[in-house]
Amino acid sequence: MLPWWLEAGLALAAYIVFHSIATADLAVATAPSDVGLTDLGNPWQAFAGYLQYLLPLALLAGALASAIAEDRRNASEKPSEPGPAAEPDQLG
């Protein structure tokens, strides 16, 4: 499991990368022979359009799980606080 801060950083980086791919200008065919080349980029842009949201969301969910696990781990490692002091026996 990665640290939460690393997963949050990866989520931001993934969004930036996939967003730049998804919003890139579409290639325009200038000749009929170029039509096949322009069709290759479009599915990748559509795929990047979905991934720009899905991958960061998954990474942020992992970051949340990692932060919760780290918090629980830190809480269980703390020494337990002593309870109230026992009162001495009272005579008489």
For the chain, domain boundaries? 4-28+35-72
Residue 37 to residue 77: CA distance in whole angstroms: 59
With a cut of 70, list the residues of the chain below it in pLDDT: 27, 29, 34-41, 79-92
Confidence (pTM)? 0.69
Instruction: Report pLDDT for 43.
Output: 81
pLDDT computed for residue 25 by the predictor: 81
Cα–Cα distances in angstroms (integers) from residue 18 to residues 8, 30, 47, 62, 74, in the given order:
16, 27, 9, 19, 35
CA dist 48 to 19, 52, 77, Å?
Answer: 7, 6, 42
Q: Which tokens in the block code for residue 38?
A: 């322009």
Predicted confidence at residue 92, as pLDDT, reads 53
